[in-house]
Amino acid sequence: MSSARNKANSRIASLRSMLCVGLDSDLSKMPAIFRSMERPVLEFNRAVIRATAAHAAAYKVNTAFYESRGLSGMRDLDDTLQALPPECLSIADAKRADIGNTSRQYAKAFFEAWPFDAITVAPYMGFDSLEPFFEYDDKLVFVLCLTSNSGSADFEERILDDGRPLYRAVLDRVRSWQRNGNAGIVVGATKAGLLQELRQEAPELFFLIPGVGAQGGSMQEAVNQGADPDRGGAVVNVSRALIFPPGDFRSIEEFEDAVRHEAAKLHNDIKAIL
Amino acid sequence: MSSARNKANSRIASLRSMLCVGLDSDLSKMPAIFRSMERPVLEFNRAVIRATAAHAAAYKVNTAFYESRGLSGMRDLDDTLQALPPECLSIADAKRADIGNTSRQYAKAFFEAWPFDAITVAPYMGFDSLEPFFEYDDKLVFVLCLTSNSGSADFEERILDDGRPLYRAVLDRVRSWQRNGNAGIVVGATKAGLLQELRQEAPELFFLIPGVGAQGGSMQEAVNQGADPDRGGAVVNVSRALIFPPGDFRSIEEFEDAVRHEAAKLHNDIKAIL
């Protein structure tokens, strides 16, 4: 069994938490107290990590929020990865994939140059575009299946000639492509009902469930429908609703208290169900 | 009309070239003379650019080959972009897309932080994942449609319930989503026949055609089927077969001569058809 997956499932079981903290650290949304610092995004992330470490099973770093600031953003990504608690699953939310020769380089980027435990990848280009990721059998590879956004209707939910939606074909292929139990899928919490259906269909896969909070999904539904602690495992990601609490913070401590309060609340919601 | 597209079409017409040089600058594949340098990838790229500038309509930088070396790779990406001839279309081959809020950050990354003229994006997540790119109406946005790899059979070529393959649904949507003529599609040169069909179907789109050379596609077929100089425009990408000429080079000049010879040959092949 993939060691990344074992680590995630141990953490989920011991903490009774499925919380994944999404570090979508948008400079324009963070409290003013950070913005005057030399490295605002890194200091913001360190504060969020301190405030959530006792409640989180995983951390998800979305590469877009770092690439958007060019080289200085990439330095923040580098140092943020170092700051993540080693007992939590670290996910590079990168949504990469290319022809095999090139995907090999992406796998090297996010499993070696930046040694994350897990990555998200996009399925459109098919098997050889994902194989280089699956070759790392100690990691976790989350393939986009049914995403939380409205655009999922455009292609993901299109019906194929066998009467099933495209995302079901993706699910089937992912199940056959995994190695050493290193496959996961991304299913949005905004797709209640379908989340439960996919969970029952593929109990052996690890689920990454985004969309709770700002996107409208509920933690209760996500945990109820997505949890499968005995087998596949799952984490539910919260980004904006957790890391950008409302309020005017006069100190980093005040900010951390607000984030800690929200993380504890989410953790309690999860414990009440698990 | 998108200014990036105007620039590309002017260059194609004046040079009578559709050659796109793919800077898939894999450190392990480049001549030993570069590997002892302080910044081998950047010096390699500068040599390739010097050798191809008189023949190229576009340059394509695949982000995977830079991310795979972490921060030092990203510094090379940064400096490579500065070194590209301003009269050529610069393409970030990034294959990004995420929920709208996040795609906005990717668009900022590759149109502002690194000011490329064009980007490749992946369609799986649908409209709101691509809209932030299309909002830059002076740029060019290439959506993956029918890619050059074998995995295209897994999902791209799956037949939908209306009897048409998924990639045709992508084509239709892209045509309706573009703004100011800023849409393009990626169609592999290895899909001869289908390339011609898509070109006829969507004469107004700009085509990025990879897969010539190492992947087995032919320049003649790609130009014959993909060219549409009066309307959409197209560039044909060559990476490995151009930038890694066989031979043991004792100097950078010898290496440049070999690349220049290959670029001139490809340019002549194109001129003979256009």
Q: Minimal Cα distance from B97: which residue of A? A: A95
Cα→Cα distances B108→A68, A185, B35, B131, B132, Å: 5, 27, 33, 13, 9
- At residue B229 the predicted structure's pLDDT band, cuts being 50, 70 and 90, is low
Chosen CATH of A3-273 out of 3.40.190.10, 3.20.20.70, 3.40.50.300, 1.10.3720.10 = 3.20.20.70
| Residue, of A270 and A230, whose pLDDT is higher | A270
Chosen CATH of B3-248+260-273 out of 3.20.20.70, 1.10.3720.10, 3.50.50.60, 3.40.1010.10 = 3.20.20.70
- The catalytic residue among A7, A29, A60, A95 is A95
Interface test with B, best of A67, A124, A129, A146 (most B CBs within 10 A): A124
Residue B7 annotated as catalytic: no
pLDDT value of residue A229: 65
| C-alpha triplet B116, B125, B175: angle, nearest 5° | 65
A144–B124 C-beta distance less than 8 A: yes
| Residue, of B123 and A228, whose pLDDT is higher | B123
Contact criterion met (CB below 8 Å) for A242 and A259? yes
- The catalytic residue among B95, B108, B139, B265 is B95
Q: Which of B64, B154, B159 sits opposite A106 (nearest CB)?
A: B64
* CA-wise closest residue to B109 among B84, B139, B86: B139
B122–A95 C-beta distance less than 8 A: yes
Share the mean pLDDT of chain B: 95
**Structure token pair of residue A57:** 């099973």
> Strand B19-22 vs strand B58-62: parallel, antiparallel, or unpaired?
parallel
Q: What are phi and psi of A222, to 5 degrees?
A: -60, -45
Q: Which of B67, B71, B160 sits opposite A158 (nearest CB)?
A: B160
pLDDT in tens, A199-235: 999 999 999 999 898 888 889 999 999 987 667 799 9
Contact criterion met (CB below 8 Å) for A198 and A145? yes
pLDDT in tens, B99-108: 999 999 999 9
* CA-wise closest residue to B220 among B268, B149, B148: B268
pLDDT value of residue B215: 80
Contact criterion met (CB below 8 Å) for A254 and A34? no
In chain A, the percentage of residues whose pLDDT exceeds 90 is 91
- Domain boundaries along the sequence of chain B: 3-248+260-273
Q: Is B228 exposed, middle or buried (0-12, 13-18, 19+ CB in 10 A)?
A: middle
Mean pLDDT value across residues B160-169: 98
pLDDT at B122 over 90: yes
pLDDT at B232 over 80: no
Interface test with A, best of B29, B66, B96, B102 (most A CBs within 10 A): B102
pLDDT at B169 over 90: yes
pLDDT at B66 over 70: yes
A67–B71 C-beta distance less than 8 A: no
- At residue A7 the predicted structure's pLDDT band, cuts being 50, 70 and 90, is very high
Give A-chain residues touching B187 at CB under 8 angstroms: none
A99–B95 C-beta distance less than 8 A: no
pLDDT in tens, B21-49: 999 999 999 999 999 999 999 999 999 99
ipTM of the complex as predicted: 0.97
